[in-house]
Each structure stands twice: as C-alpha cells, then as structure tokens.
Structure 1
Amino acid sequence: MNQIDLAGRVAIITGGARGIGYAIAERAAASGAALALWDMDAAKLAETKAMLEGKGATVSSHALDLTDQNAVDAAAAATLQHHGRCDILVNNAGITGGNAPTWDLPVAEWRRVIEVNLIAPYLVCRAVIPAMIASGYGRVVNIASVAGKEGNPNASHYSASKAGLIGLTKSLGKELATKGVLVNAIAPAAAKTDLFAQMTEAQIAYMLSKIPMGRFVETTEIAAMCCWLSSEDCSFATGAVFDVTGGRAVY
C-alpha cells in the first residue's frame, strides 16, 4: 500500500461505520489521520470505533441523523471541541432508495433519498467549512456516483441526488478556491457494500454490464483516491469530479 501523508490531520467521515466509509476511515488512519466518525447506527459505530482503536487509530464517534440541522451543528461543535480542529471532511453517507421507474417510486422515498444524499452533505458542509476557512486549510471530498453523471434507469432519485452533489461540489470549489479549502468529488461505479441489499438483482446486473473492466470497484480503491484528495499532495484540483468506474465513464 502506497503511503499517503495525513499525519496530524483530523478527518470527519460521514457514514463511517461500514462499507466505503469504513474503508476510507481505515486508510485515513493508516495515513496518520485522527478520525471523527459520524453515523446514524450507534451500535455499528461503537463496534467500528473499537475495531479501529484496536489498530492504533485515534477515533471519536458521533451518532446522529445527518438530515437534522441541529444534530449536525452539535456534532460539528463536539468534534472541534474533542479534536481541536477539522482538516478533512468526507461526505460519504448515502442510501439508494430501492429501484423502480420514476412514476412508481413513492414520493416519500424520493424525498428521503434527496434528504440523505444531498441535503445532509449541504448541512455538514455548512457546519464544518467555516472552521476550515478560519484555519486557512481544508479538504472536502464528496462521494458521488457515476449515476450522477449518466442517470441510472429505475434510480432517478439516487441519480438526481448524486448529480446534485456534483453540482454542490463545483459551486463550493469555486467559492473556496482562494481560501485554502479544496472541494472535490469522487464518482465511483458500484461497490459491493450493504447498499446492494436495497437493489434488485436486475439492477446489480445492469450496473456490472456497464463496466468495461468487468468487475465492481473495491472499497479500498475508492478509499485510496479519497485519501489522496484529502492530502496536501492534492493542491491544484478543486470543484472536480474524479472518475473511478473501470472505464464506464471516461469524461
């Protein structure tokens, strides 16, 4: 594993208790970062915290609903009080919301996906970025999806939420370009995580058929890209979308 230098940095990772979030946390800790894991699953969060601490990581955990503005603001304050700073923010938490044609998707489910995948990252950025501006340094990485670039059929809510997250990334990148805070997104193809349980077999097969490399992305591959974007080595890229799709999207 190549070394990425995050020594002395503090990283907030949403949805850090499992899946892609856990892989990012593990790689960030191995790179020297202290971790603040934000997740709504308190039991899994405690388990993950203990697991990472067993590997020598410095970890704080914060159980919250990321769509609740007051809870997000409180978690940001608690994180800054505990760690004294925040250098890295990874907006990773997300849901797929199942699969169906747009006209058959329940309105409540459509709204919930937008709330979790787009409004929550906005709330987290709103709560965390001012501290980065004050310190003159920050790295924000938003975990989007190739669905946000191309629009997956039978997943209009998920595709729209990730397209919105890409738009948020571009706007924030320009707003913060002279403040020492860089904002980028990763648009991966599907990885085998717990989210697959929310999808139909047909949807999973469709996604696999679109990947020229003929396999799903590994969570560790997304983590490696995320940690590089979180480092000082990433110094002249902001508002960009980094493709990790095995050749599916080459733009």
Structure 2
Amino acid sequence: MLGKHYIITGATGSLGESLIRSLNECGAFVTIVVRNEEKATLLQNKYANIIDVILLDLNSEINHKYVRDKLSEHAKFDGIINNAGLGYFKSNEQHSNAEIKDIYNTNLVNLIELLNIVLPFLNRHASVVNIASISGKVTTPYGSHYAASKAALISFTNSLRLEREDLHILTINPGPFKSEFHTKADPSGTFQRLTEQIQLDVNDLGDQIVKGIIKKKIEINEPKWMDLGLRFYQLAPRTIEKLFKKSFLSKKL
C-alpha cells in the first residue's frame, strides 16, 4: 500500500482514527472527510499521512462543486472508506422526523451521493469500503431505523459489487465496539455497559479492514461467533426471536 491514497469519512471517530493509524503503518496517505475542523487539526498533528481535509457534514446537503474541487487537487485515489454513521436506540415512535431523516441521510442517501461524486476520481481496481453493521443482518428492535439504513447499505454494496467489476467492493459488518456513536445513540450509557464484555477491539478491527483491502476481500463480519449465530438465525428467524427475546431487546433502554 506504499504511496497509495485513500479517502476516509467519519475520520474523527474511534474506528476512523484506527483506520488512519493502520494505513499510516502501511505507508498509505489519506484525505479525511470530517465536519469538525478542530478535531481534524488534532488528527493532522498526530498522523503524518493525512494530506488533505474535506469539511463536510453528511447530515446536510452536499456541495458538489466544493468536493469535486478538493478531489481534483490530487491525482486519482486508490479507494474510499465510508465510515461515517449515525443512529439512536429508541422505539420507532420515539424518533423525531428529523432524527429519522438524519439517520438515512448519513448512513445511506448522502453516503451514496458522496460516493457518486468520488467514483470518477478513483483508479481502476480501487477499493470502495462501506462500513455497515451486523445490525443490518438481524431484527433490531429499539434501533430499527439504524438497522434498516445499514441493511439497505449492505444491499446497495452487494449490488454495486456486481455493477462495477472494475472496482474492489468490500462490506464491513461489525458488532459493537467502543465508540462515540454509542454516546449519541444511548446517552444513558446502558447499551455501552451491556455490551462492554463483547465489544471488538477497534484497533484490531481497523487492521482487519486494511488487510481486507490488501487481500481484496468482499465481506468482513466480526465477531465471528456473532456472525455464526446469525447464520442459524436466518434459518428460522421468528422461532429464534421467540426463544431469545431478551437478547433481541438489548437496546430497550
């Protein structure tokens, strides 16, 4: 990966920083897409491989000209890692209309819009990495809109893989890991406490994703035991929902 150049969205989150670190160790450069300029500066002071910053809030309307102008300042890119994400652990009725729109805009609609701007700037066989979630593969009460947006992202990514054989398309479906995402999704900290013992190591996850790019994998599901459980779930989902109802309600706060 020496000398390659990747775009990372959601770069100021824990996984975003882990990806910057891992790519730096492989000799790759990054352009980060962030909404907080102050946090971007802190990252730039910490990692020498950050060569540009695109200030963009994926909850808001995308300024196409600004993004294209920033991308055109560089030679072609070797990939984009779509890591920005948003969700709330609430019942459907507890979500405000604004929250629902923000979730789908950040996790799906604006992600695709940004990707379509970036695609002409990618090298042939460049990597498109979409960070979905294991939640997108299972019934997720009290997190329905987050899970639905990730399920749609998984479906979109699989379709894109067949449409664009000239690109490497990789889907990442992680379980819970320590992140500021949980602070916003569940300000009470309940979900964080409930999942603390099974949370993924975010640095290990970042390294796995970078290795997945190098090896041209098409899907990474972590943790393995959770992915295996989901395979059984898909055989008889309603029966398993009844048998393990308490586990399905882990986001009920």
Instruction: Report TM bin, short chain.
Output: 0.7 to 0.9
Rounded Cα–Cα distance in structure 1 between residues aligned with 2:105 and 2:14: 20
1:222 matched to 2:216: no
Counterpart pick for 1:34 among 5, 29, 33: 29
Residues 15-94 of structure 1 aligned to structure 2 (within 5 Å): 15-53=10-48, 57-68=49-60, 70-71=62-63, 74-81=66-73, 83-94=74-85
Rounded Cα–Cα distance in structure 2 between residues aligned with 1:72 and 1:166: 25
Rounded Cα–Cα distance in structure 2 between residues aligned with 1:190 and 1:69: 29
TM superposition shift of 1:245: 2.1
User: 2:182 maps to what in 1?
Assistant: 196
User: 1:109 maps to what in 2?
Assistant: 99
Residues 37-186 of structure 1 aligned to structure 2 (within 5 Å): 37-53=32-48, 57-68=49-60, 70-71=62-63, 74-81=66-73, 83-96=74-87, 98-132=88-122, 135-177=123-165, 179=166, 181-186=167-172
Length, aligned pairs only? 227
Letter in 1 for 2:47: L
Question: Could you say what the CA RMSD is over the residues aligned between the two structures, in angstroms?
Answer: 1.9
Letter in 2 for 1:37: I
Rounded Cα–Cα distance in structure 2 between residues aligned with 1:50 and 1:76: 25
Gaps of 5+ in 2: 232-253
Give the structure with higher Rg (CA): 2
Counterpart of 1:170 in 2: which secondary structure?
Answer: helix
Kindly provide the CA deviation profile for residues 194-238 of structure 1, in whole angstroms up to 9, marking residues without a partner as x: 112121444335545xxxxx420011122112212322x31xx4x
Rounded Cα–Cα distance in structure 1 between residues aligned with 2:25 and 2:67: 24
Letter in 1 for 2:75: G
Kindly provide the CA deviation profile for residues 84-131 of structure 1, in whole angstroms up to 9, marking residues without a partner as x: 1211100001112x2211122212211110111111220121011122
Gaps of 5+ in 1: 1-5, 209-213
Counterpart of 1:16 in 2: which secondary structure?
Answer: coil
Counterpart of 1:249 in 2: which secondary structure?
Answer: helix
Counterpart pick for 1:243 among 216, 221, 226: 221
Residue identity over aligned pairs, in percent, reads 22
Residue pair 2:56, 2:62 contacting (<8 A) in 1 also: no
Residue pair 2:29, 2:51 contacting (<8 A) in 1 also: yes
Residue pair 2:62, 2:114 contacting (<8 A) in 1 also: no
TM superposition shift of 1:68: 4.6
